[in-house]
Structure 1
Amino acid sequence: MSETSVAIGRRPGAPTRYGVTRDDLGELLASEGQPRYRADQVWRGLYEQLVGPAAITNLPAALRTRLEALLPLALEPVTESVADDGETVKFLSRVAGGYEVETVLMLYPDRATVCVSSQAGCAMGCGFCATGQAGFDRHLTTGEIVEQAVTAAARAKAAGRRLSNVVFMGMGEPLANETAMWPAVERLHGDLGLSARHLTVSTVGIVPGIRRLTERPLPVTLAVSLHAANDGLRDELVPINRRYPIDALLDACQGYLAAHGRRMSFEWAMIDGVNDRPSDAVELASLCRRLRPAAHVNLIPLNPTPGWPTTGSPLARVRDFRDHLESLGVQATVRRNRGTDIDAACGQLAARHREGQLAARHREGQLAARHREGQLAARHREDGSRDQQPAART
């Protein structure tokens, strides 16, 4: 099998439901004495009907039960938050090793988008990002990535919508986990039926990864989390810039655009007093115009993040920044913050859940300490009472 699960409570070496390839599934079913056409039935159930084996009704009941055991899910639901009148759903799931990852489904009038994670945690160290503050735990597997998208697609289907876009903008750096990320892209394209232009891979600027992406056959949309337009500020905000400075990053981006003929975007988190000045807009516009075609800019009001001393730019300043860019010939969009009240920014729900767990453990520890203190006090009173009793008569 191409991918296995070592999740808590699951047998090490067992295949996962969305970790197996179609060939893997055929071999598994053949080993169970099933005819070859069963693989097509199961695959259509998983990727077209968006259901588990138990709900694939054209399979024999015994086989459904057997496949539920043979092909467990890799993501264990932890909690789920809903906002924006049900249009934003954030899933927090636990993966092998006990690590938690986030997935966000966003329903818009014209599209349904899921933001998936590619790693548990992140090693890039961007201080204004909740995931970056938490540090790196491990890479996600292809099956864990695909399962996030399928889970969101099933939820969208239940709301009468079809999943139309997948963005790799959740926890982690996708190009640092390319060996698992790219097969997931191919699965989403070939089996979930999403157009390559509706698959977006975001990166903080891993230049070798962008060059490898350039050689890939699918022209996915490239998004670069830029956040600063000069090396001095970007070194501070995005530490990987010290290894791959802006000039090298732009060269790699231009190579990607030349190979695939697609416009890319720069992601720009608006941080109050840090990168939202008129001079920042002028520098950013200059970088955008160096690319052909010029990059589009997505302006993202920074969600408040515990541990980062600054806040997001006021909305009026965000709009002024956008207008300034457009006056300089650069297309820019202000991204609407979704699910702020449910910690929808990358890493926030996981961080809040960890804080809740630590607080609960602290409360449990306090309760246990009080209990121990009570026991000691009771023993002390008992000892004192015995000391005060008259001596036994002889």
Structure 2
Amino acid sequence: MAVVSMNLSTTPAPSQALRADSRVLLGLSEPELQQLALDLKQQSYRGKQLHHLIYKRKIKDIQDFSQVPLAFRNELEEAGWKVGRSPIYQSVTAADGTVKLLIKLEDNRLIETVGIPVKDEKGVMRLTACVSSQVGCPLRCSFCATGKGGFSRNLNMHEIVEQVLAIEEIFNHRVTNVVFMGMGEPMMNLKSVLAAHQCLNKDVQIGQRMITISTVGVPNTIKKLASHKLQSTLAVSLHAPNQKLRETIVPSAKAYPLSALMKDCRDYFVETSRRVSFEYALLAGVNDAVEHAVELAELLHEWGRGYHVNLIPFNPIEGSEYRRPSKKAVQAFAAALESNRVTVSTRQTRGLDADAACGQLRNKFQKSPLPTDSDNLQPEEDVAVAC
């Protein structure tokens, strides 16, 4: 299998990323919206109103900005501005309350985002938005449905932010946590991810520590992320305790050896004082033996201390040779890590019956857009909702 080229350039000013020609209001900060109002010969407080309408009221069309004068609305549209919200093409609700949304982008491609509601022992709901960063994914990890559906392009910053607003609308509840664990490899779209992170933190007002950026590992990007000194969690998808096994599960590992990845994770901790979390998908008979757990613990101790491992029992996808491990095997793996002084948790599977669980996001319009007459089709006819 060919190794994917993973060269990436980023800019040090994510708040300005992708804005020059977009004319999209979503993603602009309150000061930027105030400046826009002044540029259009309005008073600056109109920009504050725009900010409220976009992020709090979640209004999707400029002509529905009833709090601002019609003349200002018309002037915004004449200048080529739009809110930047996309329609929901389809939603699927699982028995556990997890909701998967298919969002139809301006170029007729579909992305998937998932809302995961969890109530604590006091009945307080935590709502997690699992957001996509690309249309499809180019890395083609062997156990993941998204890569099997192909890759089209990176998402723009506002296309990431709008996923969170869409989840808030569907649940009529504030999103408390955001995880960049949907479709795509966030580090291959770091410019937009950093810009979206800033908007979600400053404008949507989600705390940095409530945001997780996940990566399977892209050369030179963990160091770049560390330079921003975010308080968010970095989650590295490891999936194997040694290079040889990892290459069979994650083909891109050939271009980014495990030793280099672990060094970057160690340097990230030194630079940010933020512990790295490691994701480990358990595949029955492949990487789920107690011996693998012991080897994983040795690897982590070699490169640092205080690491956390999040175990993810494989979620079935069509056409995969992998199987979900037994509960006994998962428990034995976790116990082996704990006995070797590694903190471990096992992810609760959510949204399985809606193909919304980890690794299951896929649709057949990742690579090619929907047909232009798709609005006349029934979603269940033209969308393969995951695998």
Alpha-carbon distance, 1:245 to partner: 0.9
- 2:182 pairs with 1:173: no
Residue deviations 1:57-78, cap 9 Å, x none? Answer: 5434665677688424342321
Provide the C-alpha distance between the structure 1 equivalents of 2:265 and 2:358, rounded to a whole number of angstroms. Answer: 24
Q: How does 1:334-345 map to 2 (within 5 A)?
A: 334-345=346-357
Where is the helix percentage greater, Structure 1 or Structure 2? 1
Report the CA distance between 1:106 and its aligned residue. Answer: 0.6
For structure 1, the residue ranges without an aligned partner over 5 or more in a row are: 6-12, 365-394
- Write the letter of the residue equivalent to 2:104: R
Say which is worse superposed, 269-278 or 61-70, in terms of deviation: 61-70
> 1:197 — aligned with what?
209
Counterpart residue number, 2:12: none
User: How does the TM-score come out when normalised to structure 2?
Assistant: 0.81
**8 Å CA contact retained: 1:2, 1:21:** no
Q: Distance in 2 between matches of 1:2 and 1:255?
A: 26
Number of matched residues? 348
In the alignment, which residue of structure 1 is the partner of 2:103?
Answer: 93
Q: Which moved more, 1:111-120 or 1:92-101?
A: 92-101
State whether residues 107 and 113 of structure 1, in contact with CA within 8 Å, keep that contact through their aligned partners in structure 2: yes
Match of residue 90 from structure 2:
79
Q: Deviations over 1:281-314 (max 9, x none)?
A: 1111112323444211111111111222112212
Q: What residue identity is the alignment partner of 2:150?
A: G
RMSD: 2.8
1:231-242, aligned counterparts within 5 Å? 231-242=243-254
Could you report, residue by residue, the CA deviation over 1:219-274 in whole angstroms, capped at 9, with x for unpaired residues?
22100011011000101111121111111111100111112212221111111111
TM-score, normalised relative to structure 1 = 0.80
Q: Please tell me whether Structure 1 or Structure 2 has the larger radius of gyration of its CA atoms.
A: 1
Cα distance per residue 1:117-158 (max 9 Å; x no partner): 0000111121211111122210000110111112223334x1
Q: In structure 2, what is the equivalent of residue 305 of structure 1?
A: 317
* Residue identity in the other structure for 2:48: D
Tell me if 1:331 matches 2:361. no
- Structure-2 separation of matches of 1:205 and 1:26: 39
What does residue 387 of structure 1 align with?
Answer: none
Which stretches in structure 2 are left out of the alignment for 5+ residues? 1-15, 121-125, 378-387
Structure-2 change in CA distance of 1:287 and 1:54 (3 Å): farther
Aligned counterpart, 1:134: 149
The one-letter amino acid paired with 1:325 is L
The runs of at least 4 aligned residues of structure 1 exceeding 6 Å deviation read none
C-alpha change, 1:203 and 1:2, in structure 2 (3 Å) is closer
SS at match of 1:206: coil
- SS of the aligned residue for 1:351 comes to coil
Amino acid at match of 2:33: L
> 1:128–1:2: structure 2 CA closer, same or farther, 3 Å change rule?
closer
Q: Distance in 2 between matches of 1:271 and 1:2?
A: 38
Alpha-carbon distance change, 163 to 55 in structure 1, aligned in 2, over 3 angstroms:
farther
Partners of 1:16 and 1:74 within 8 A in 2: no
Distance 1:149 1:67, change over 3 A: farther
Corresponding residue SS for 1:112: strand
The question of whether the paired residues in 1 share the 8 Å contact of 2:110 and 2:363 is answered with no
C-alpha contact 1:127 1:237 (8 A) present in aligned 2: yes
Matched residue, 1:367? none
- Give distance in 2, aligned partners of 1:95 and 1:35: 33
- Of 42, 46, 55 in structure 1, the residue corresponding to residue 50 of structure 2 is 42
Alignment of 1:99-248 (within 5 A): 99-110=109-120, 111-156=126-171, 158=172, 161-248=173-260
**Sequence identity percentage:** 38
Name the SS for the 2:162 alignment partner.
helix
Residue 18 of structure 1 contacts residue 143 of structure 1 at CA under 8 Å; is this kept in 2? yes
Query: How much has 1:15 moved relative to structure 2?
Result: 2.2
Q: Is the 8 A contact 1:130 1:348 kept in 2?
A: yes
- Choose between structure 1 and 2 for higher RCO, CA contacts under 8 A separated by at least 6 residues: 2
- Which whole-Å CA distance do the structure 2 matches of 1:347 and 1:62 have between them? 48
- Distance across 2 between alignment mates of 1:219 and 1:304: 33
Q: Secondary structure at 1:172's aligned position in 2? A: coil
Q: Is the 8 A contact 2:100 2:113 kept in 1?
A: yes
Partner Cα distance (2:273, 2:182) in 1: 26
Q: Distance in 2 between matches of 1:346 and 1:169?
A: 8
Tell me, yes or no, if the aligned pair for 1:128 and 1:237 is still in contact at 8 Å. yes
Are 1:295 and 2:311 an aligned pair? no
In the alignment, what sits opposite 2:13?
Answer: none
CA shift at 1:21, angstroms? 4.9
1:77 maps to a residue whose letter is I
